């Protein structure tokens, strides 16, 4: 029984699971978005968010700790140079999981996991929405009613 065990083992041995999460975290940092199963995405979020949090303070100690998890110099440099600049003001929640449906082969739930600050579609300014219009008939009739003006008399041309 699993009484109180909070780690999703993903049907893998410890070494296989750690290697898989390390590779997935490296891919996420390098490509900013990956598609995987929902269970793996949830496990990856728990794995990668503390690493992103460590990257906010660039020190040799933090770089070595992150390297011990990722095993990739390029990913560590990308994380500490570019990603840490974008997440500097964010207090947490560096990743987003979007469900994409099911995989036809085995019916497993698929998801996209991405870094929040790198999705340009969701970062667009949405404050420029149209003014909310109401459907009050009396107000529109009062505004739309033409104001009756006095007819202007045309002057006849003067004969000389």
pLDDT-derived band at 129 (thresholds 50, 70, 90) equals low
pLDDT at 142 over 70: no
pTM of this prediction?
A: 0.75
Q: What's the confidence (pLDDT) of residue 125?
A: 64
By residue count, the chain amounts to 160
pLDDT-derived band at 160 (thresholds 50, 70, 90) equals low
Kindly report the number of other CB atoms within 10 A of residue 75's CB atom: 23
C-alpha closest to that of 72 among 23, 20, 15, 16: 23
Q: Tens digit of pLDDT for each residue in 43-100?
A: 999 999 999 999 999 999 999 999 999 999 999 999 999 999 999 999 999 999 999 9
Q: What's the confidence (pLDDT) of residue 154?
A: 66
- Longest C-alpha distance within the chain, in Å? 116
Distance CA(21)–CA(27), nearest Å, equals 10
Q: Are 97 and 113 in contact (CB under 8 A)?
A: yes
Q: Who's near 39: CB < 8 A, 6+ residues apart?
A: 8, 10, 109
């Amino acid at each position: 029984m699993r009484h109180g065990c909070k780690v999703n083992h993903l049907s893998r041995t410890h070494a296989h699971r750690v290697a898989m999460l390390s590779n997935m975290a490296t891919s996420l940092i390098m490509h900013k978005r990956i598609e995987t199963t929902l269970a793996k995405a949830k496990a990856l979020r728990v794995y990668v968010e503390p690493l992103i949090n460590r990257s906010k303070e660039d020190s040799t100690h933090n770089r070595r700790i992150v390297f011990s998890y990722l095993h990739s110099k390029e990913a560590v440099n990308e994380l500490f140079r570019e990603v840490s600049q974008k997440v500097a003001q964010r207090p947490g929640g560096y990743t987003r999981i979007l469900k994409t449906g099911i995989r036809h082969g085995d019916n497993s739930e698929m998801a996209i996991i991405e870094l929040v600050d790198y999705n340009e579609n969701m970062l667009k300014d949405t404050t420029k929405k149209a003014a909310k219009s109401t459907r009050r008939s009396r107000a529109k009739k009062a505004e739309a009613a033409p104001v009756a003006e006095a007819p202007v008399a045309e002057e006849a041309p003067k004969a000389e």
